[in-house]
Amino acid sequence: MGPRRPPLDFFWFIPTYGDGRYLGSETQQRPPEFAYFREIAQAVDRLGYGGVLLPTGQACEESWVTAAGLATATEKLKFLVALRPGVVQPAYAARQTAALDRLSNGRLRLNVVVGGNPVELAGDGVFLPHDQRYEQANEFLTIWQGLVSGERVDFEGKHYRIEKGRLDFPPAQTPPPLYFGGSSEAGIELAAEKTELYLTWGEPLDAVAEKIAAARARATAKGRRLRFGIRLHFIVRETEEEAWAAADRLISRISDEQIEIAYRRFTKEMDSVGQRRMAELHGGRRDRLLVGPNLWAGVGLVRGGAGTALVGTPAQVAARLGEYQALGIDTGDRIRLPASRGGLSRRRAAVSRARHRQPPPPWRQPGDPERVRRRRGGTQAGLRLVTAAHRHLHRPGSTRPHQPASAKHPAAAEAWRAAARREIPLPATGDAARLPLP
């Protein structure tokens, strides 16, 4: 048995554009509702995830307002919220940052978003070409970092001018950490100079290793040190056959025409290097979706952003995560499925295998599944049952086989089975182009 790696830091996902089971279809979809966001956030907070990502864009509920609401309903959960150079002014963004960081008692994380769909950027009033957007972002972050660090800022650049800028109410953190993902040369340069954690989408190991090496070298040359994270979807089932069947079912309602339109948009209409790399993994073809061991590119057939998923059993997914971790990854982001269907239980099994977990507190004991189910109904009960069963998961480094529950805890065993088979009806409304995994 080799040396134990440091624990991975896992973030879940708040589906602020709606939730559902199929890509490219309105079947079994639920619209974005704050009550549902709160339910997910409270569940992952109790289960010990490090935080949640809130996406940004025209089709999403506004991430800063949503995060502020969720911060008051959770205790430890961190919130990764988009910081948009060019969309807002840096001084105003600094005040937003300070207010939300104080409100959440230092639980704010910032995801710097510079690129995107040119049509959507134009709708936000951003018309700069690719490299100039990163040049603007560098100036933006120079001003923002000075303000949130308590400095008086005077700055004049190509894109911004500010005189005697100050922040009267500082954030709880000085400053809150910046996350950033970008595959272009300009993006890697910005990450090396201004941010703390560089994020990559789930590409094959050799491609991820190349990006990490490039970003690390740039940061070292500037006397800085970067951490690294990865954005992936998970499709986890008890058997590999069930996992691949779920992956096939996810894209079963996508038409060839939808794939063709999306591929053309990703490769011809968008200037994002990372998006083009995602699309080139599958080439717009259904027969090219397996791009690495347990690494599946089906999500990216029609959806922008992180387009790959790890597919398999908890042990297989944990093994693949360990391979990414060996490259230097220490944070996992966008681990997501409809939380109300027992998805949290299956992903929790994979996560528990991939990270060290302390024993649960004394009050977190297996309870009566029927009592909990009657108390809050199927959705919330399923999440509570996952918590009860989680303490029986295999821990990395143990020589014992995986045992979800023992004869000593029959209630937890039944809780695990009930959570895994939980089926919650979803309303068939909302944005069919933006569905998370089932």
CATH classification of the domain holding 282: 3.20.20.30
SS3 49: coil
Residue 1 lies in a domain: no
Residue 430 lies in a domain: no
Cα–Cα distance between 273 and 356 in angstroms, integer? Answer: 35
What does the DSSP 8-state code read for residue 362?
A: T
For 239, the token pair is 């058997």
Residues spanned by the domain of 112: 9-420
**pLDDT tens digits for the chain (438 residues)?**
556 667 788 999 999 999 888 998 888 888 999 999 999 999 999 999 999 999 998 889 999 999 999 999 999 999 999 999 999 999 999 999 999 999 999 999 999 999 878 888 999 999 999 999 999 999 999 999 999 999 999 999 999 999 999 999 999 998 999 999 999 999 999 999 999 999 999 999 999 999 999 999 999 999 999 999 999 999 999 999 999 999 999 999 999 999 999 999 999 989 999 999 999 999 999 999 999 999 999 999 999 999 999 999 999 999 999 999 999 998 877 544 444 444 555 555 555 555 544 333 333 333 333 333 333 333 333 333 333 323 333 344 433 333 333 333 444 344 334 433 333 332 222 222 222 333
Radius of gyration of the chain (CA): 22
C-beta separation of 310 from 317 below 8 A: yes
Domain count, the chain: 1
How confident is the model at residue 242, as a pLDDT?
97
How confident is the model at residue 116, as a pLDDT?
79
Which residues have C-beta within 8 Å of that of residue 42, sequence separation ≥ 6?
A: 73, 74
Cα–Cα distance between 271 and 130 in angstroms, integer? Answer: 7
C-beta separation of 333 from 407 below 8 A: no
Beta strand spans in 259-308 (E): 290-292, 295-296
The dihedral built from the CA positions of residue 233, 237, 243 and 247, taken in this order, carries a sign that is negative
Q: Is the peptide bond before 175 cis (omega within 30 degrees of 0)?
A: yes
Cα–Cα distance between 234 and 236 in angstroms, integer? Answer: 6
C-beta separation of 45 from 77 below 8 A: yes
How confident is the model at residue 351, as a pLDDT?
58
Residue 155 lies in a domain: yes
Residue 22 lies in a domain: yes
Strand-pair partners of 161: 156
Residue 429 lies in a domain: no
Residue 435 lies in a domain: no
Residue 426 lies in a domain: no
Residue 307 lies in a domain: yes
**Helix extents (H) in 115-184:** 118-123, 130-148
